[in-house]
């Protein structure tokens, strides 16, 4: 049955993160925050970050989205806590490269659980679901719209 291919996308750990997302809610005091929308589907994601001594000391997200976008946001928050903005930016780049299927040999260990979203590359229509939270992270930290990530992803979206 063709549905068995869904396993490549919806791994158990992804379903778990989506059903019980980590760092879901709001921070008492955020230093950086952003709301990002996916205009083609109506998904919306709010991201709040607390930066202390140039490190991400706390992070929270909220909003509406599909299994992939919610799981990706949950995994992203797990992965970036304790990182500097520069390290987080590297992770954003690694994640983007991974989900568009470029450089399948790259080392994904810095992404933690989030590396399991590699399977998204086989579902091009869902790439932007997976990247929403990471774009939000990028924009919240840089204050810019996408930077290198937007460029990298442009040809794979819309």
Residues forming contacts to other proteins in the complex (CB under 8 A) are 1-7, 9-12, 15, 40-44, 64-68, 123, 125-126, 129
Print burial letters for 30-39: b (CB count within 10 Å at least 16), e (below 16): bebebebebe
Q: Which residue has the tokens 């879901």?
A: 24
Q: Minimum distance between the CB of residue 73 and other proteins, rounded to whole angstroms?
A: 13
Nearer to other proteins, 45 or 141 (CB): 45
Q: Minimum distance between the CB of residue 96 and other proteins, rounded to whole angstroms?
A: 20
Contact 12, 19 (CB under 8 A): no
User: 45 — phi, psi (to 5°)?
Assistant: -140, 125
Specify the long-range contacts of residues 150-155, CB closer than 8 Å, at least 24 apart.
152/93, 152/96, 152/97, 152/100, 153/96, 153/100, 153/127, 153/128
Nearer to other proteins, 116 or 150 (CB): 116
Q: Minimum distance between the CB of residue 4 and other proteins, rounded to whole angstroms?
A: 6
Q: Minimum distance between the CB of residue 5 and other proteins, rounded to whole angstroms?
A: 5
């Amino acid at each position: 049955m063709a549905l068995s291919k869904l396993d490549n996308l919806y791994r158990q750990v992804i379903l778990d993160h989506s059903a019980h997302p980590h760092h879901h809610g709001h921070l008492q005091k955020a230093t950086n925050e952003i709301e990002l929308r996916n205009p083609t589907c109506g998904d919306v994601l709010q991201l709040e970050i607390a930066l202390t001594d140039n490190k991400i000391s706390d992070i929270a997200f909220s909003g509406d989205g599909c299994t992939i976008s919610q799981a990706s946001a949950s995994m992203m928050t797990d992965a970036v806590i304790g990182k500097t903005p520069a390290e987080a930016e590297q992770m954003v780049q690694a994640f983007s490269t991974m989900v568009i299927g470029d450089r399948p040999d790259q080392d994904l260990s810095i992404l933690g659980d989030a590396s399991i979203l590699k399977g998204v590359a086989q579902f091009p229509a869902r790439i932007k679901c997976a990247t929403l939270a990471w774009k939000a992270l990028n924009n919240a930290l840089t204050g810019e719209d996408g930077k290198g990530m937007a460029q990298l992803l442009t040809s794979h979206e819309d």
